[in-house]
Amino acid sequence: MTRYSRITGTGSYLPPRRLTNAELAAELATKGVETSDEWIVERTGIRARHFAAPDVSSSDLAVAAAKQALEAAGLLASDIDLIIVATSTPDMVFPSVACIVQNKLGIAGCPAFDVQAVCSGFIYALTVADALIKTGSATKALVIGAEVFSRILDFSDRTTCVLFGDGAGAVVLQASDTPGILASDLHADGKYVGILCVPGHVSGGQVVGDPLLKMDGQAVFKLAVGLLESTARATLAKANLSEADIDWMIPHQANIRIMQSTARKLKMPLEKVIVTVDQHGNTSAASIPLAMDVAVRDGKVKKGDTLLLEGVGGGFTWGAVLLNY
């Protein structure tokens, strides 16, 4: 019998502190940085984001989202035999956030590791989990995207600090005898490292380089739209499906204009695109599972729907997953 994997539960978590554009603009003004709600909305579609408290880490957000996903799947933490966390903002240099999550869930023994592909991280993590389930190495996996990007923002740079937020999203991926994950497509091109990066590291007890996010917004935008279209088409081709077969597209929530441009290229009505960027900002690896959980709990995404998940991120990385929910 062919072995497949299916998503059986979703969960998400946002820190309680919500900042509207107006509130963020007022805070930035005290630092001599000018911006406004109108400026941010026009360029990005973002109206608010959530920031974690100083004592809250990525693992804390991940655990909260994981517990929701486990409850939705009707499972206990002890049922899980694989944990993969996609993050660019880990609690510490090592060990992985996944190992910390495992401990906080009160379980032990199963493999647990992080995937670092920035905003494409959840797509990468879901593809890896699917492969491990298909080969019989795992049966019930927690796949989580969790970020505290507020910790790596340069609040003197209005072109980047208004874009990002904190949060986590999680899914339970289980072995199944019917297809769930239909196809996936992963890519990277390291020559674009410089257009989106945090070029610092720890050496000799000191931060060497710049530990704050740097982005060439125009370069990222131009690259993103083309790559999202190509990876979507490649994934559909692998599954012998077309754009018309997609019930919902759940893209990485980076910028409403990128999402709209991608939808146009795929000839998809905007009504079929799940949008949470207006309320969450860009939560990097958390954005796709966060948006998916919101859509599931809002009743938009229903059992049997065909979903296209896709993202681009620093690296440059990009990819897509087509699945039957």
Identify how many contiguous H helices and E strands the chain contains and give both numbers: 10, 15
Give me the number of domains the chain comprises. 2
Does residue 315 share a domain with residue 251? yes
* pLDDT computed for residue 217 by the predictor: 95
Does residue 238 share a domain with residue 259? yes
Does residue 205 share a domain with residue 288? yes
Do 190 and 314 contact (CB within 8 A), yes or no? no
* pLDDT computed for residue 35 by the predictor: 96
| DSSP-based helix, strand, coil % in the chain, nearest 5 | 40, 25, 35
* pLDDT computed for residue 1 by the predictor: 81
The CATH number of the domain holding residue 162 is 3.40.47.10
Q: Return the C-alpha torsion angle 320, 185, 114, 152, nearest 10.
A: -50
Does residue 264 share a domain with residue 139? no
Q: Three-state SS across 266-301?
A: CCCCHHHECCCHHHHCECHHHHHHHHHHHHHHCCCC
* pLDDT computed for residue 117 by the predictor: 98
Does residue 225 share a domain with residue 161? no
Alpha-helical (H) ranges within 171-266 are 217-238, 256-265
Q: Which residues are catalytic?
A: 119, 252, 282
**Domain-ending residue, one of 148, 176, 204:** 176
CA–CA distance, 37 with 49 (Å, rounded to integer) = 12
**Domain-ending residue, one of 176, 203, 223:** 176
Does residue 237 share a domain with residue 159? no
Tens of each residue's pLDDT in the chain, 325 residues = 899 999 999 999 999 999 999 999 999 999 999 999 999 999 999 999 999 999 999 999 999 999 999 999 999 999 999 999 999 999 999 999 999 999 999 999 999 999 999 999 999 999 999 999 999 999 999 999 999 999 999 999 999 999 999 999 999 999 999 999 999 999 999 999 999 999 999 999 999 999 999 999 999 999 999 999 999 999 999 999 999 999 999 999 999 999 999 999 999 999 999 999 999 999 999 999 999 999 999 999 999 999 999 999 999 999 999 999 9
Does residue 284 share a domain with residue 136? no
CA–CA distance, 142 with 66 (Å, rounded to integer) = 7
**Structural domain for 80, as ranges:** 4-176
Cα 104 to Cα 61, 108, 143, 166, 231: the distances in Å are 11, 10, 15, 20, 36
**Domain-ending residue, one of 128, 157, 176:** 176
Does residue 145 share a domain with residue 213? no
Does residue 127 share a domain with residue 233? no
Does residue 156 share a domain with residue 193? no
Does residue 151 share a domain with residue 292? no
Give 258's contacts (C-beta < 8 A, 6+ positions apart): 221, 224, 225, 228, 251
CA–CA distance, 98 with 85 (Å, rounded to integer) = 5
Does residue 32 share a domain with residue 169? yes
